[in-house]
Structure 1
Amino acid sequence: MQKFTFNKEGFNNLFPFHLLLDGDLNITSIGKSIAKLYPNLKEGESFKALFRIKRPFLDTITPAGLLTNLTQLVILESRTGSDVQLRGQFEQMDDCFLFIGSPWFVSLEEIKQQNLSILDFANYDPLLDLLQLIKTQEITTLELRNLLKINNNQREELRKDREELNRIAMVASANNNGIVFTTPDAKIFWCNDAYMRQTGFSREEVIGKTPVQIGNNPAIDKVELHTMIDRFYKGEPFDVEITHGRKDGSYFWTRIQGQPVYNDDGKVLQFFAMVEDMSEMREKEEELKLLSVITEKNTNSIVVCDKNGHIEWANKSFEQTTGYSITELIGKKPGKLLQGKETNPETAAYLAQQIRAGEPFKCEILNYKKNGIKYWAQIQGQALYNERGEIARYFAIEEDITERKKLERQKEELVTSLEKSNKELEDYAQIVSHDLKSPLRSINSLIAWIKEENEGGLSDQTALYLSMIENKLEKMDSLIQGVLTYSRIDKADVNKERINLHEIVRNIISIIHIPDNITVQVDGTLPTILADRYRMHQLFQNLIGNAVNYIDKPHGLVNIGYTETGAHYTFYVKDNGPGIAPENHQKIFKIFQSLIKNERSTGLGLSIVKKIADNYKGRVWLESELKNGTTFFIQLPKK
């Protein structure tokens, strides 16, 4: 298994708002941007002492609790006084926990207040696009308000006619918007029925109170509120968008337009205000902002559903993929519309359960188009929450992966076919090697009989010829055995045991032919490793045998030894032979490749070495200098 390797610099480039925790939940790495948000945060401190998990709520933070919530959206808040929340997800990396996320801001000004800049965010962070869109909207709104101010000044002149204002007051009771009249000191003395329906208060509860007392709520914009109050007491018209409280503690978005009513001397007699419920319009505006952000850089199919799972909106790609028009999609549930008899019921149940729980979801599912054609889709999505923390709707992004699934099936079929072919080739190699060895043994026996029956009667030339035939037969037998050995090297070793490599190598040295002018020595003591004894014997016998066979010096020397790291053993077989040219370093590992003519060489030895190393997920390479020898290195994982 590949072990997780943490690179802090690389993680900071991709995930500047990350926290890495060890198995005891102590902080071992802090993202460069998180360090700006929490300057007193230090590595080595306890995560659970500094943070609480707000969503999903965990009373006590434990490794088991984090494991249970790995696939969920997590909201962190500091225990040390900072009001910035982090939204993201935990992932387990070996015995560590990695939190990846970003802070949640609603304006670019908040980023500046926290001494952050755009450079502190990952390039892909969608929060930057959303905040920029909100900023653009604020600028547009400000421009509209400036225009409205000019327009109000013009309207003020027109509304100075007291009789017109009185006529407005007379019809106020029939207005669908809330209407209130106040005294110059802001006490309400009249309101219409619409205002009582909006707020839930009775007329008796409203009369004598100020609009601020009635409408105050936790979400109210203090700046807008003070603007409205300031203009009121200056006797100026005002037009603000602000939240307005209800009797039950909830609130709704309003547009409040106020106008003073003057007497003949120009003094304010009373104030007239119209309260328009803007909640539905605001929700639509937020929806449009969201949809524009989602669709701006995404060509995949996108669908938005209400809190009950019914489709509210879908983009053109979704229509083109499914074959349904937007009018056919609105009000339908995607699952009932697109799933069919071959759709995996477990996947469908997973989607339904995640949506009911308001949790993010990601899966691959078989869907059906309107015309009945099946297609594979990768779906990911999540719930969207309103300002009160309630699920408002869901959105999902769907990618057509039909072609990818076809390629995966083709790959599986190819792997199955290759496995079958490899087995057939192995069986064939064994049969052929057996059939080839049989006549070789017969020829060898015939030569022995000829020598025996003609002992002393053969000419020197004939005896030489027979000896040459025997050498060729021996090489042919070695070649056949090498092919059979190569074909039998499986892709996975099943017979693994703890083996003493030092003992194996000493045994090899004792049984192979080593000329008197060559010394083979082991540097130190080789380790005991987990491997297949026969494969390791093949590997080292081929390497040591090659080194001995090719040495061209009067005094040859072969050294065997190793080094190790935390994850690998690296063995070496070094000789002082003729060396190998750089252009041949890779060629020699190919089957039937031999660079020097040698009666005992089959061209299979190093290809067998490489195949064994590959099967252990190791590697083999060499370093060589012409005329000064060669060193072969074999790196094997410890596990």
Structure 2
Amino acid sequence: MNHSPDNNADRYPQIVTDPIERYQTLIQGVAAILWETDARGEVQAEIPQWSAFTGQPLESIQRGGWLNALHPEDRDRVRLAWQTAVERAAMAPTDHMTFEAEYRLHHRDDYYRWMRVHGVPVFDPDGTVQKWMGFHTDIDDRKNAELAAKDRAAEIERLNTLLTQMMALVDRREREIDQFTYTISHDLKAPLRAVTNLSQWIEDDLMGELAQESSEQLQLLRTRVGRMEALIDGLLFYSRISRMEVNIERVTVVKLVSDVVALLAPPAGFTIEIDPGLPILDTKRWSLQQVFSQLIDNAIAHHHRDDGNIQISSQPLAEGYEFTITDDGPGIPPAQHEFVFGIFNTLGKKADRTGMGLAIVKKIVETEGGNIELSSDLGAGTQLRFTWLTPVATALSAA
């Protein structure tokens, strides 16, 4: 079937051959707002998409009135950028000039949306600026996401600054506490030593004349003074645990525990069973030794018999080991399980105990990232389990 040229023209769109018209057609297809000004940057004709968005008629857009549709915080910045672009293009028309900016544009329904504007000068054949053409793209979603991320980053920076300040304050307070604790320790222990010496001098001077009961009372006095000195030392040690620097060493735990037991010298009837499979660790020897020393000493001291039994074992965890110290002593009622980990708390009437041992153990273990638990009941012995974190790659079997 033959078609006339007129029929084809009706069926197919006309081809745009003019470059500027082609540019306008392309921009109209992809941009939110297409705009045009004269060479001085003044609006001369209607901008339908702008008016539809902002509600501004032509007379409100002219003579820089379009700036009134911008957010007040953006106006001066955009005005200066636009004037600079127009002046530079007029002064150096051979250069490739563009105008780009981002700002919030007021919608006729009384809200703002972020827009990105891009404009270029169009030159006459003689090189002078004929007009400016450009378009706006709605970037509100992206811009709000960027601003939210920036706000989060600023908040994180603020929190980091605050954290740094707090850490500095804590460090200063810890130094002050160290100094205070040292001073208290020195000022308290000096008169205590004087009391010990004085009681000993009295006993020596009255040798043979002092009644047995009085001699025993003086001895008890010195014992109590010694306990006070040990308590002061324990407090000083407790206050410094989290700030002590301890070297990492290769530790054979079987040997470490054996050395601790030898130093504690339990009663001859006591049996202490050490699992030969205790691991070899790269860890803080001194800290781990303190934990075992306090726990084993505590189990011996609070046992109700001279022929007690203590068992020490371990099992691997994903990030370290769990060590267990089990005794067949008198046991601890469940209601007192948390009590025994407090400072100055001690069960029974052990006059030579300071009540600091388990508190020190708990603080050391938790400072190293582990935890400690107690399982016991009255008359059923006690089991203390503590986790000791260490890189799995450094944990070796001692067997």
TM beyond 0.5:
yes
Provide the rounded CA distance (Å) in 2 between the counterparts of 1:188 and 1:494: 95
Deviation (angstroms), 1:428: 2.1
1:472 matched to 2:224? The reply is: yes
Provide the rounded CA distance (Å) in 1 between the counterparts of 2:294 and 2:205: 38
Over residues 13-53 of structure 1, what are the superposed CA-to-partner deviations in whole Å (9 max), with x where a residue is unaligned?
Answer: xxxxxxxxxxxxxxxxxxxxxxxxxxxxxxxxxxxxxxxxx
Question: Retained in 2: the 8 A contact 1:577–1:627?
Answer: yes
CA shift in 2, pair 1:284/1:543, >3 Å = same
Provide the rounded CA distance (Å) in 2 between the counterparts of 1:283 and 1:581: 78
The residue number in structure 2 matching 1:425 is 177
Provide the rounded CA distance (Å) in 2 between the counterparts of 1:554 and 1:187: 122
Over residues 191-238 of structure 1, what are the superposed CA-to-partner deviations in whole Å (9 max), with x where a residue is unaligned?
Answer: 4998121699xxxxxxxxxxxxxxxxxxxxxxxxxxxxxxxxxxxxxx
Where does 1:79-98 land on structure 2 (aligned, <5 Å)?
none
The residue number in structure 2 matching 1:196 is 15
Deviation (angstroms), 1:462: 0.8
The residue number in structure 1 matching 2:28 is 280
Count of residues paired in the alignment:
290
The residue number in structure 1 matching 2:390 is 638
Deviation (angstroms), 1:447: 2.8
The residue number in structure 1 matching 2:348 is 596
One-letter identity of the residue aligned with 2:199: I
The residue number in structure 2 matching 1:626 is 378
1:547 matched to 2:366? The reply is: no
One-letter identity of the residue aligned with 2:315: T
One-letter identity of the residue aligned with 1:280: Q
Provide the rounded CA distance (Å) in 2 between the counterparts of 1:458 and 1:187: 143
CA shift in 2, pair 1:531/1:436, >3 Å = farther
Provide the rounded CA distance (Å) in 2 between the counterparts of 1:404 and 1:566: 32
Deviation (angstroms), 1:496: 1.7
The residue number in structure 2 matching 1:496 is 248
Q: What is the percent sequence identity of the aligned residues?
A: 26
Provide the rounded CA distance (Å) in 2 between the counterparts of 1:427 and 1:441: 21
In structure 1, runs of 5+ residues without a counterpart are 1-183, 201-250, 253-276, 286-312, 315-323, 337-391
Deviation (angstroms), 1:565: 2.8
**Larger proportion of helix:** 2
Deviation (angstroms), 1:634: 1.3
The residue number in structure 2 matching 1:441 is 193
The residue number in structure 2 matching 1:481 is 233
Aligned partner (choices 291, 301, 309) of residue 557 of structure 1: 309
Give the aligned CA root-mean-square deviation in angstroms: 3.6
Over residues 394-415 of structure 1, what are the superposed CA-to-partner deviations in whole Å (9 max), with x where a residue is unaligned?
Answer: 5222234567755554433222
The residue number in structure 1 matching 2:62 is none
Question: Retained in 1: the 8 A contact 2:254–2:276?
Answer: no
Aligned partner (choices 191, 195, 207) of residue 455 of structure 1: 207
Question: Retained in 2: the 8 A contact 1:493–1:532?
Answer: no
Q: Which moved more, 1:568-577 or 1:429-438?
A: 429-438
Deviation (angstroms), 1:497: 1.6
Q: TM-score, normalised by structure 1?
A: 0.41
Aligned partner (choices 366, 390, 395) of residue 614 of structure 1: 366
One-letter identity of the residue aligned with 2:358: L
Where does 1:211-226 land on structure 2 (aligned, <5 Å)?
none
CA shift in 2, pair 1:463/1:613, >3 Å = same
Question: Retained in 1: the 8 A contact 2:331–2:379?
Answer: yes
Deviation (angstroms), 1:507: 1.6
Provide the rounded CA distance (Å) in 1 between the counterparts of 2:271 and 2:4: 111
Deviation (angstroms), 1:591: 1.8
Deviation (angstroms), 1:422: 0.8
Question: Retained in 2: the 8 A contact 1:491–1:615?
Answer: no
In structure 2, runs of 5+ residues without a counterpart are 34-52, 55-68, 82-136, 392-399
Where does 1:221-260 land on structure 2 (aligned, <5 Å)?
none
One-letter identity of the residue aligned with 2:205: E
SS of aligned partner of 2:347: coil
CA shift in 2, pair 1:279/1:552, >3 Å = same
Q: TM-score, normalised by structure 2?
A: 0.63
